[in-house]
Structure 1
Amino acid sequence: MIQQLGQVMIYVDNQEAAKTFWTEKVGCIVRSEETNGQFHMIEIAPTKDAETSFVLQNKQLVAKMEPYLNVGPPSLMFFTDNVENLYEEFKAKEITVGDLVEIPSGKIFNFADPENNYFAVIERK
């Protein structure tokens, strides 16, 4: 039986630029970084104790090794307790953000990484 989602793979063109974005701009931490042969994997998480993390992997290498694998960006939704403050913080750090909007489930905005992959943040009520 599946008990929880452990990791999400994000395939990127430039792992180091992606790592810098997620750690220095977004504020995540690097949980682990390892190289196994040609594969270099960087595990990122919002906090040390987060249940789910994501792994930055080399898009071209994975596509070459597994041609039928979808290496497009996953659709990720992050939670925050104060979406308005985070929105202003991201804008101050020059992260590309969409409009802050209110939907029935809460206030939400999208943001982009350096490769123009878009993700969303919603305020948890």
Structure 2
Amino acid sequence: MSLGISQVTIYVEDQQKAVDFWTDKVGCAITRDMPYGENRWIEVEPPGGGARLVIHKADPDWPTPPTDMPGHVLFEADDIVTTYEELRARGVEFTRSPEQESWGWSAVFEDPEGHRFHLGQR
């Protein structure tokens, strides 16, 4: 059997602000952007490929996700320190700089809405 992950959805209040962050600061490429009801269906792919992020408009009645804990999405880089420095230079805000843990390297960054994401090293 072959099984993989094709998409991970991120719920945001402002889709365009999220698109700008993921494309301009993180360097993702838009793979799909089309009308979806009153909003848009937007997919971006990270540099180097992999699972796409779906930038989905959050319903205002949904609870706000916690911002005091790391997210559940892990990005990997061949060289975490170089990637960290490049992302910071583009304006990506890190809540935790790269640190060597017993299980590997880890850093944490956040998007403009406060969602946190891990950055690890392959």
Instruction: State whether residues 30 and 44 of structure 1, in contact with CA within 8 Å, keep that contact through their aligned partners in structure 2.
Output: yes
> Residues 7-18 of structure 1: matches in 2 within 5 Å?
7-18=7-18
- CA–CA separation in structure 1 for the residues paired with 2:6 and 2:41: 15
SS in 2 for 1:89: helix
How far 1:105 sits from its partner (Å)?
Answer: 2.6
Q: Could you list the runs of 5+ residues in structure 1 that have no partner in the other structure?
A: none
Displaced runs of 4 or more, over 3 A: 70-74
Q: 1:39: how far off?
A: 3.5
- Matched with 2:116 is 118
Report the TM-score when normalising by structure 2. Answer: 0.83
Percent identity (aligned): 29
Are residues 1:96 and 2:93 paired? yes
CA RMSD of aligned residues (A): 2.3
Deviation, structure 1 residue 46: 0.8
In structure 2, distance between residues paired with 1:3 and 1:56? 23
SS in 2 for 1:4: coil
Q: Hey, what does 2:106 align to over in structure 1? A: 108
Shift of 1:2: 7.3
**Count of residues in correspondence between the two structures:** 117
* 1:39 pairs with 2:39: yes
Structure 2: runs of 5+ lacking an equivalent: none
Structure with greater proportional helix content: 1
Deviates more, 1:108-117 or 1:90-99: 90-99
Q: For residues 78-93 of structure 1, what are the structure 2 equivalents within 5 Å?
A: 78-93=75-90
Structure 2 Cα separation of the partners of residues 71 and 20 of structure 1 = 21
* 8 A contact 1:46–1:53 mirrored in 2: yes
Distance 1:27 1:40 in 2: 20
- Inter-partner Cα distance in structure 1 for 2:50 and 2:118: 18
Tell me how far apart the structure 1 counterparts of residues 38 and 44 of structure 2 sit (CA, whole Å): 20
TM-score normalised according to structure 1 size: 0.82
Distance 1:106 1:95 in 2: 22
Of 57, 74, 78, the match for 1:77: 74
